[in-house]
Amino acid sequence: MMATFGLLIAALAAYWVYNDAKGRGHETGTALLWSVGTLAALVVFLPLYLLLGRKRPMKPRRNDDIIDIEAVPVEEMIKCPMCASNVKEDFKACPYCGFALKPACTSCGKELKREWRLCPYCQTPTDLK
């Protein structure tokens, strides 16, 4: 009779430990381990659970102050050599002064370097200075 009563108390304690652990955010496996331990050795695992297991598990906190640099689109800017205005790197001409940032050949339309006097693609003389 006494063994049955002790087993019933251990089973009720194990049930309570499982539900409490799940309610506090523990995963199912962890809650089940606490529960089985309580059922097997009530006088050892119940005090351990009350001291250690009732703490809320640490979950990574989301910090809104941190900005993911790779997620933010960044427009590369350069300075116009003529007027020193900030312009996007992919602009072909400065929208403020009209200076050709990336000059193109008048004949074939390919991009030229400023120091070239002749288009290497179609051999048209350039008018760059």
Residue of 100, 96, 102, 93 whose CA lies nearest to 84: 96
Q: Between residues 64 and 42, which one has the greater pLDDT?
A: 42
CA distance 67 to 25: 28
What average pLDDT does the segment 115-124 reach?
90
Q: Between residues 58 and 17, which one has the greater pLDDT?
A: 17
CB 30 within 8 A of CB 6: no
CA distance 104 to 85: 21
CA torsion, ordered 41, 46, 49, 50, to nearest 10 deg: -160
Structure confidence at residue 129 (pLDDT):
57
pLDDT above 90: residue 83: yes
Q: Between residues 60 and 112, which one has the greater pLDDT?
A: 112
Domain boundaries in the chain?
Answer: 2-53, 76-129
What average pLDDT does the segment 91-119 reach?
88
pLDDT above 80: residue 43: yes
- Percent of the chain's residues with pLDDT above 90: 28
